[in-house]
Amino acid sequence: MSTGKIVSLLAQADIGVYAVSLDQRIVFWNRGAERILGYTAEQVVGRHCYEVVGGVTPGGLTPACQEGCPSLRALQAGSVPRAVEMQLLSISGERKTVPLTTMVVSGAIRDMPIIVHLFESGDWAADRDRAATEVRHELTGSGVDIFSDRAGAAAPVAATDTLTPRELEVLRLVSLSRTTDEIATELGISAHTVRNHVRHFRRKLGAATKLEAVLTALRQGVLDWN
């Protein structure tokens, strides 16, 4: 399933939902998120999540995701990201305490993973688990792979020492759904060279597809935007 279709499913959710790309830029923001925090999609899409919602744990000072996504760190440790209580910054400047559930989902081969956040507040918070379960069933029933539900062993030694700097650059851009031509233009190299780098990092990561390579790299902690 394409990322676009995943977004269409999330748009129908009754609770607050926002999704970020692997470099933590907001790619989707539904009406529920607008109702709870006050920001419109136009105000937040394209910005880093920690610059907008600045989620902190109760009593905390630094946004939990400022040093990298906690959900991705959980995957690298071999665990399933758990629901947590967070204080999110609303447009009024008030911090709202919400239960937050995260999922790392992957779509079709050409669409890279996104990190989905589900939350609710106030009198609606009691319905969050039910609504989150409904969203999960809707996604899986439509063929969406919730990658973060599959806990595994802690990540093996990262392949960073075997991937060249250029291969890492190409891998990062692939993980953000850039096309071969877009990567070639951004890096100032030929499309043929891009395809060679893709072939090399797939082999080194033991991956049959680009999507599999990205998911493996997430497990190993190879992809890092900090």
CATH number for position 55: 3.30.450.20
pLDDT of 141 reads: 79
Using an 8 Å Cβ cutoff, are 217 and 171 in contact? yes
Task: Give a yes or no: residue 104 inside a domain.
Answer: yes
- Residue 39 clears pLDDT 80, i.e. is over it: yes
> Is residue 131 located within the same domain as residue 170?
no
> Is residue 141 located within the same domain as residue 165?
no
Question: Which stretches within the chain are classed as H helix?
Answer: 3-11, 31-37, 41-44, 49-52, 70-76, 128-141, 165-175, 180-187, 191-205, 210-220
Task: Give a yes or no: residue 226 inside a domain.
Answer: no
Top pLDDT among 200 and 140 is at 200
If one counts the domains in the chain, the total is 2
> Is residue 58 located within the same domain as residue 21?
yes
pLDDT of 55 reads: 82
Please give the single-letter amino acid code of residue 208: A
pLDDT of 100 reads: 87
pLDDT tens-digit readout, 48-67: 998 999 888 776 667 777 77
- Token readout for 65 is 């995701």
pLDDT of 189 reads: 96
Task: Give a yes or no: residue 164 inside a domain.
Answer: yes
> Is residue 32 located within the same domain as residue 129?
yes
Cα–Cα nearest to 117, from 212, 216, 44: 44
> Is residue 15 located within the same domain as residue 108?
yes
pLDDT tens-digit readout, 66-103: 777 787 777 777 676 777 888 899 999 999 988 888 88
What range defines the domain where residue 189 resides? 159-220
Cα–Cα nearest to 26, from 156, 129, 115, 138: 115
pTM value is: 0.78
Top pLDDT among 151 and 25 is at 25
> Is residue 70 located within the same domain as residue 164?
no
Write out the DSSP string of 87-149. EEEPTTS-EEEEEEEEEEEE-STTS--EEEEEE--GGGGGGHHHHHHHHHHHHHHTT-EEGGG
- Residue 200 clears pLDDT 50, i.e. is over it: yes
